[in-house]
Amino acid sequence: MFFPTGNVIAAAVLEAHWQSIRDECLALPRGEFTAWPEQSIYNQGWDVYGLYANGCTLRENCVFCPRSATLLGGLHGVVNAGFSRMAPGARILPHVGYTRAVLRLHLALYVKGDCGLRVGFERRTWQEGRCLLFDDTVEHEAWNNGAHDRLVLLLDLSRTALESAA
């Protein structure tokens, strides 16, 4: 299930600054990304660069992305955040998240070719500079059938924080 982002402050802030966030992500050395830990849910080529984990800033990573870290630090309700990279040919298999306490937000940073996301029965494609918000406890999957990496800023936002800001 996807949700509208029109009243989500985090989406507005991130979309307004997406190019500087993208530039920081693109400047990171490829070797700084690590494989997504749940390797049973994807075929290959899904890497992440963490910025927040369990509500705490990953300072050793944020030092290389100061603009992104500052923007994230100004947002209410960030539980987890980081850059997500899918290599060409990567496929994240259908799976469900672990908690209804968060909603997942993707800010599209670099998307070329056939890349998409299915949540429940609805399929969407990323648009650079735009956010998608969804409930990851609903079965979802993603794919990159394009010739280039797909990059998004991935955030888990507290549902409570989102509801109190509405």
41-92: per-residue pLDDT in tens?
667 889 999 999 999 999 999 999 999 999 999 999 999 999 999 999 999 9
Q: How far is CA 85 from CA 8, 51, 76, 160, 161, in A?
A: 24, 14, 24, 28, 27
C-beta separation of 148 from 113 below 8 A: yes
**What is the share, in percent, of the chain residues with pLDDT greater than 90?**
86
Q: What's residue 43's pLDDT? A: 74
Q: What's residue 80's pLDDT? A: 96
Give pLDDT tens digits for 106-138.
999 999 999 999 999 999 999 999 999 999 999
Residue 64 neighbours by CB distance under 10 Å: 15
Our measurement of the distance from residue 104's CA atom to the centroid of its chain's CA atoms, rounded to an integer in Å, reads 7
Q: What's residue 12's pLDDT? A: 96
Q: Rounded mean pLDDT of 16-38?
A: 91
Q: What's residue 161's pLDDT? A: 86
Q: What is the domain count for the chain?
A: 1
Q: What's residue 5's pLDDT? A: 94
In this model, does residue 166 exceed pLDDT 70? no
Q: What's residue 34's pLDDT? A: 84
Q: What's residue 51's pLDDT? A: 97
Rounded Cα gap, residues 103 and 19, in angstroms: 23
Q: What's residue 74's pLDDT? A: 95
Domain with 154 in it: 2-165
Nearest to 133 by CA among 31, 2, 9, 30: 2
Nearest to 109 by CA among 22, 23, 47: 22
For residue 53, give the CATH number of its domain. Answer: 2.60.120.330
Give pLDDT tens digits for 133-156.
999 999 999 999 999 999 999 999
Dihedral sign, Cα of residue 128, residue 135, residue 43, residue 61: positive
In this model, does residue 24 exceed pLDDT 70? yes
